[in-house]
Amino acid sequence: MTIENVRIIELPKYLDARGNLSFAEQNNHIPFEIRRTYWIYDVPGGEDRGGHAFCENQEVVIALSGAFDVVVDDGENKKTFTLNRSYYGLYIPKGLWRTMENFSTNSFALEFGSVDYSADDYIRDYDEFLKLKKDGKI
Q: What is the pLDDT of residues 74-112, one digit of tens each?
A: 999 999 999 999 999 999 999 999 999 999 999 999 999
Mean pLDDT of 43-69: 94
| pLDDT for 114 | 98
Residue 42 has pLDDT above 90, yes or no: yes
Percent of the chain predicted with pLDDT > 70:
100
Residue 46 has pLDDT above 90, yes or no: no
Q: How far is CA 4 from CA 72, 75, 127, in A?
A: 10, 13, 22
Query: What's this model's pTM, rounded to 2 decimal places?
Result: 0.94
* Whole-angstrom distance, CA of residue 82 vs CA of residue 84: 6
Summary mean pLDDT of the chain: 96
With bands split at pLDDT 50, 70 and 90, how would you rate the model's confidence at 30? Answer: very high
Contact yes or no for 123/55 (Cβ under 8 A): yes
Residue 135 has pLDDT above 90, yes or no: yes
Q: Where are the domains of the chain?
A: 3-134
Residue 1 has pLDDT above 90, yes or no: no
* Whole-angstrom distance, CA of residue 115 vs CA of residue 136: 21
**Superfamily designation of domain 3-134:** Jelly Rolls (2.60.120.10)
